[in-house]
Amino acid sequence: MSLLGVPLLVGTIVLTIAVTAASVWLGGRLRGSAPSQAVRRAGLALACQVCAVLTVAVVVNDQFEFYATWDDLVGSDSAAGSFASLTPHDQHGLRTAAGLTFAPYGEDGVRVVHYTGPRTHIGADVYVWLPPQYGLPAYRHTRFPAIELLPGYPGPVHNWFTMLDVTGLLRHEMARGEAEPAILVAPTMEVVPGLDTDCTDIPGGPAAETWAAEDVRDMVTANFRARRDGAGWAAMGYSEGGFCAVKLAVQHPRQYAAAVSLSGYFTPTAPAVTRSPGLLRANDLLQVLTRSRPPVSLLVMGTRQDADTAADVTRLRDVVRAPTTVASSVLPSGGHNYGVWGTMLSPALRWVSHELSDPRRARS
C-alpha cells in the first residue's frame, strides 16, 4: 500500500474527524464512578491525539515524500526478497562474471543486489542502471563513467528512480546530445535502521563513508565495465545526500572528479557526528576546504525559499580556492522537496556529464 497520495491522506483526515466526533458523543454519556469516567475520558482524549498526530505525519510525508511504502517505513525490502530466489535468467535477473546476481527493480532496467562490503562488512542494497549503449556491440570494449547517487535522510535511495525518474531524465539528455552514457549507482546509506551517519565513518559504528567511497565503488568496477580512474566517477545527492556527494569528492579526490549537491548543506547535522568535536571538525566541509584544495569540480544548488541551502551555497563559494572549482545555482522559489530537486536534475546531469567527458581529465 502506498503511503503517498490522496487516498491515505483523505482516509486519515476522515478517521480523525470520526474519532473526535465519537469521543465528544461518548464523553457526554459516560456512566460510573468519577475515577472510572476520568480514565475513560483520558482514553478518548488519547485516541483523538493519536489520530491528530497520525494525520500530521501523513500530511508531512505526502509533502516531503520520505516514505513511499510500508516497506520503506519499516525498513524491509521486497526487492531483496525476490533477489534470493532468482536464477541467472529468471525475471531478467543479471548475473555478472564476478558472480553477483542483480534482481530487476521497476521497469527501466534498474537492478538491485544485496551486497556486503569486504572492508566495512556493511550489508545493504545497491541499485545499478546500465545505459542502453552498454549492451551494444559497438561499445563492448568501452568502460563507462559512473555517477553515484546518494539519498537524503530519512528516505530510501530508490527514490532516485521512482520519485525523480533519473533514468528517464538521463535518457532524454542523451537523446538530445546533452549528456554521455553513464552507469548510475545508488547505494543504501541508512545502513543501520534509524541511524543518521551523515555518510561518515562512525567510531564504533558503521563506516558509511568507506562503504560508499570504496566498497560500493569497487563492487561496481569488478562487476561492470565502469571506469576505474577517478576522472570517470562523480557523486550526486539531494538534501543530506548533497552533503554526502560533496564530501566524497572533497575527501576522496583520487576517486571522484566531481560532485553535485541539490539543496544540500556542508556542515554535519547528524548527532552521531556532531557529538564528537574531532569528528565534526574533520567532516565539516567548510572547514576542510579552508585547509585543503582538492582538484575536484563542484556544482551546488539551492533556492531562496529554502533559505539555509542558499546561504550554504554562498558559504561554500567563499571558502573554495583553486584548483577546486565550484559552480552554483540558486533558484528564486521552491521548498525542500522532490519537485524542486526534479527541476534541478536535468541541468545537473548535463553539468556532470560534461565534467566526466572533459578531455583534460586523465583516462585509464
Residue 23 confidence (pLDDT) above 90: no
- What band does 354 get if pLDDT is binned at 50, 70 and 90? very high
Q: Residue range 16-43: average pLDDT? A: 78
Of these ranges, 29-43, 201-215, 305-319, the one predicted with the greatest mean pLDDT is 201-215
Q: Residue range 225-244: average pLDDT? A: 96
Residue 287 confidence (pLDDT) above 50: yes
Q: Residue range 69-83: average pLDDT? A: 42
Residue 92 confidence (pLDDT) above 60: no
pLDDT on residue 290: 95
pLDDT on residue 4: 56
Q: Residue range 42-59: average pLDDT? A: 84
Inter-residue long-range contacts of 200-203, CB under 8 Å, 24+ positions, other chains counted:
200/247, 200/268, 200/270, 200/272, 200/273, 200/279, 200/283, 202/272, 202/273, 202/279, 203/276, 203/279
| Residue 172, Cβ density class (10 Å: 0-12 exposed, 13-18 middle, ≥19 buried) | middle
The answer to whether 289 and 316 have CB atoms below 8 angstroms apart is: yes
- What band does 88 get if pLDDT is binned at 50, 70 and 90? very low
pLDDT on residue 7: 80
State the amino acid at position 146 in one-letter form.
A
H/E stretch holding 40 reads helix 34-64
User: Which has the higher per-residue pLDDT, 34 or 86?
Assistant: 34
pLDDT on residue 352: 97
pLDDT on residue 94: 79
State the amino acid at position 316 in one-letter form.
L
State the amino acid at position 93 in one-letter form.
G
Backbone φ and ψ of 18, nearest 5° = -65, -45
Residue 105 confidence (pLDDT) above 70: yes
Mean pLDDT over each residue of the chain, to the nearest integer:
87
Using the Cα atoms of residue 141, residue 147, residue 150 and residue 155 in order, give the sign of their dihedral. negative
- What band does 317 get if pLDDT is binned at 50, 70 and 90? very high
- What's the per-residue H, E or C state across 14-36? HHHHHHHHHHHHHHCCCCCCHHH
